[in-house]
Amino acid sequence: MKYVYFIGIGGIGMSALARYYKFKGFEVAGYDRTPSELTHQLESEGISVHYEDRPDLIPADKDETLVVYTPAVPADLGELTKAREEGYALLKRSRTLGEITRGQRCLAVAGTHGKTTTSTLTAHILTESGEGCSAFLGGISRNYGSNLLMSHTPTVVAEADEFDRSFLQLFPEIAVITAVDPDHLDIYGDYAHVVEAFKAFASQVSGTLIAKKGTPIGQEDTKAKLLTYHYTDKGADFYAENPTPDECGYFHYDLHWPGGVIADIRVGAPGWVNAENSIAAAAIALTYGIAPEAVKAAIGTFEGVKRRLEVHVNTPHLSYIDDYAHHPAELASAISSMRDIFPGRKLTAIFQPHLFTRTRDFAEEFAASLSKVDKLILLDIYPAREDPIPGVTSEMIFKDVTAPEKVLLKKEELMDYLAEEPLDVLVTFGAGNIDRYIEPITDLVKSRL
């Protein structure tokens, strides 16, 4: 095989695979619907990317070409139709990742939220300790500026994505499950099927499974040794004692684990959510065999993940943070963390709902989470892979929000609105194209310093 061609190359998981194959010496190219910072980076790394549906750009030598696609692209896309009808070797993104990890020690992080930060920190601990690993991440590590780490050590850290049951392509030696909340109900239908899928994933772990205490995963669901972690529950195998934020929101705690206590860990990314995720990452690393002092040191140098409580401006009177949260539980955790980091300050949140189905299924829960801010600026729904659903709009959330102030805007109106808005702590939330506004919002906020 000489060529690897990606349909939907700009996705966070797809771009990591594209970088992997480029690193391995294959000729890599692909299609995505819209240009982005990530696609521009791929192009700068020598990967050809185009933005029109061009079946003629798929390499002609089908015997030497692997086509990788994401289920997020339309099934009737011309390029996908050609690859399918003309008999190209065609793999989903998840299957491709599964094939890469086979034959290596796979450390996987699953969960409806927390998995990107936890997997990125796990990879950072292994890298900083000198053990090394390759890693396929669901976000851009701020330490490494990439969603792919490469190493000659035969260990792979993988984010195990439950979307489309992708994680069932992985057979990890050690795995963490961070959360099992209702999500992707457009795929699963109901929560019972979400739980069923996570139990199936648990059954594929061969060595040790570390589940957050309280998740519906029991020893009967896995042949692996089952351990638990929790932020502060002393009944868990791994937990934090005396977690305390400093004046900038960075947490210190003592980690209790089956091997003893690691005293005074400082988490290098702010907020209690990052502290909780660091316990899960430490649990994987310690189970793998990384020395406790190396785990402690790496957690302290962890800079976090882009778009996960990412601080762009931080002064005592004006701050701007961006976060990828797009599920009610994620929003509640992020807002709670920011209340710790910025006590007593006015918190204004801009939220772009992601998917019509998720908005329909969780409108009430979204409203409850977003009611915890001081002011909500709610934007229209970002459709991603979906067609509109009659009657499903941001108004479904907006009508039940009880925050002291709230306003409903189209995203095209956002910058003009912010130009006149008094700000203290501003946060943008969402998994859609709200990231295109990070730079102009940062410039606007900095202009007021």
pLDDT at 72: 85
Q: How far apart are CA 40 and CA 47, in angstroms?
A: 9
State the average pLDDT over residues 55-74.
Answer: 95
Q: Crossing angle for the helix pair 292-301 and 272-288, nearest 10 degrees?
A: 150
pLDDT at 187: 87
Strand 208-212 to 174-177 pairing:
parallel
Selection from 133, 131, 108 nearest residue 123 by Cα: 133
Q: Are 237 and 257 in contact (CB under 8 A)?
A: yes
Q: Which range is most confident: 153-167, 178-192, 278-292?
A: 278-292
* DSSP classification of residue 8: T
Using 50, 70 and 90 to split pLDDT, how confident is the model at 344? very high
Q: How far apart are CA 268 and CA 303, in angstroms?
A: 6
Selection from 136, 132, 170, 114 nearest residue 288 by Cα: 132
Q: How far apart are CA 440 and CA 27, in angstroms?
A: 35
pLDDT at 163: 86
pLDDT at 190: 95
State the average pLDDT over residues 205-230.
Answer: 98
Q: How far apart are CA 236 and CA 405, in angstroms?
A: 40
Show the CA angle centred on residue 115, arms to residues 113 and 121, nearest 5°: 135
The CA distances from residue 211 to 81, 125, 231, 282, in Å, are: 40, 19, 12, 13
Q: Are 359 and 366 in contact (CB under 8 A)?
A: yes
Tell me whether residue 244 is exposed, middle or buried, using C-beta atoms within 10 angstroms of its C-beta: 0 to 12, 13 to 18, 19 or more.
Answer: exposed
State the average pLDDT over residues 190-206.
Answer: 97
* CATH architecture, range 102-301: 3-Layer(aba) Sandwich (3.40)
Exposure string (b/e) for 53-73, b if CB count within 10 Å is 16 or more?
beeeebbeebeebbbbbbebb
pLDDT at 384: 87
* Structure tokens that stand for 227 in this block: 């351990």
Selection from 186, 209, 187, 213 nearest residue 199 by Cα: 209
pLDDT at 395: 98
Percent of the chain exceeding pLDDT 70 equals: 100
Using 50, 70 and 90 to split pLDDT, how confident is the model at 71? confident
pLDDT at 319: 95
In the predicted structure, residue 249 carries a pLDDT above the cut 90: no
DSSP output for 287-304 = HHT--HHHHHHHHHH---
**Any residues with CB less than 8 A from the CB of 383 and at least 6 apart, and which?**
355, 356
Q: Are 318 and 427 in contact (CB under 8 A)?
A: no
Q: How far apart are CA 379 and CA 6, in angstroms?
A: 31
pLDDT at 164: 85
Could you list the beta-strand ranges (E) of 207-315.
208-212, 225-230, 238-245, 251-257, 260-266, 310-314
* Structure tokens that stand for 164 in this block: 């489309």
State the average pLDDT over residues 219-236.
Answer: 97
Q: How far is CA 151 from the centre of its chain?
A: 22
Q: How far apart are CA 24 and CA 406, in angstroms?
A: 50
* DSSP classification of residue 342: S
For residue range 33-47, what is the model confidence (pLDDT) as tens digits?
Answer: 999 989 999 999 999
Using 50, 70 and 90 to split pLDDT, how confident is the model at 192? very high
Question: Average model confidence (pLDDT) for the chain?
Answer: 96
In the predicted structure, residue 21 carries a pLDDT above the cut 90: yes
State the average pLDDT over residues 167-177.
Answer: 97
* CATH architecture, range 310-446: Alpha-Beta Complex (3.90)
pLDDT at 3: 98
Q: Are 39 and 29 in contact (CB under 8 A)?
A: no
For the chain, the structural domain boundaries read: 3-93, 102-301, 310-446
Q: How many CB atoms lie within 10 A of CB 76?
A: 8
Strand 238-245 to 319-323 pairing:
unpaired
Q: Are 103 and 42 in contact (CB under 8 A)?
A: no
* CATH architecture, range 3-93: 3-Layer(aba) Sandwich (3.40)
For residue range 78-133, what is the model confidence (pLDDT) as tens digits?
Answer: 999 999 999 999 999 999 999 999 989 999 999 999 999 999 999 999 999 999 99
For residue range 281-335, what is the model confidence (pLDDT) as tens digits?
Answer: 999 999 999 999 999 999 999 999 999 989 999 998 999 999 999 999 999 999 9
pLDDT at 385: 79
In the predicted structure, residue 363 carries a pLDDT above the cut 90: yes
The CA distances from residue 416 to 120, 262, 348, 404, in Å, are: 36, 50, 16, 22
Query: What global pTM score does this model have?
Result: 0.88
